């Protein structure tokens, strides 16, 4: 069995990857916001969010599906806030 330090180092490495992907995702989120603004579309697309949540839940599987859905609901909420903030500048 790995010791606690090794496990935490692995978690830190994964967190580094998550943050890099998060930054990439948020940059793309701004591109979506720009597109929606240009085409006079609302930021919130309930159908798209439902489809994404269902896909994520299925991807995560039975054990983690509900937790993944909770996580992505928060991610999408933050993305909308970020898009709205940038739209108002």
Q: Which residues have a Cβ under 8 Å from the Cβ of 29 and sit 6 or more positions away?
A: 79, 82, 83
The CATH number of the domain holding residue 64 is 1.20.59.10
Say if CB 83 and CB 43 are below 8 A apart.
yes
Residue 45's domain comprises: 4-87
Whole-number pLDDT of residue 71: 97
| Number of domains into which the chain is organized | 1
Q: What is the pLDDT of residue 30?
A: 93
pLDDT at 89: 67
pLDDT of residue 69: 97
Q: Are 53 and 67 in contact (CB under 8 A)?
A: no
Structure confidence by residue, pLDDT tens digits, 47-56: 999 999 999 9
The reported pLDDT for the residue numbered 88 is 74
Q: Show the low-confidence residues of the chain (pLDDT under 70).
A: 89
- The per-residue pLDDT for 11 is 98
Contact of 46 with 73, CB cutoff 8 Å = no
pLDDT reported for residue 1: 77
Nearest to 26 by CA among 73, 71, 75: 75
């Amino acid at each position: 069995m790995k010791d606690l330090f090794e496990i935490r180092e692995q978690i830190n490495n994964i967190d580094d990857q998550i943050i890099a992907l998060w930054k990439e995702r948020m940059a793309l989120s701004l591109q979506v916001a720009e597109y929606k603004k240009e085409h006079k579309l609302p930021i919130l697309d309930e159908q798209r969010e439902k489809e994404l949540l269902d896909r994520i839940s299925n991807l995560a599987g039975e054990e983690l599906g509900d937790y993944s859905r909770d996580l992505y609901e928060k991610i999408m909420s933050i993305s909308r806030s970020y898009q709205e903030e940038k739209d108002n500048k």
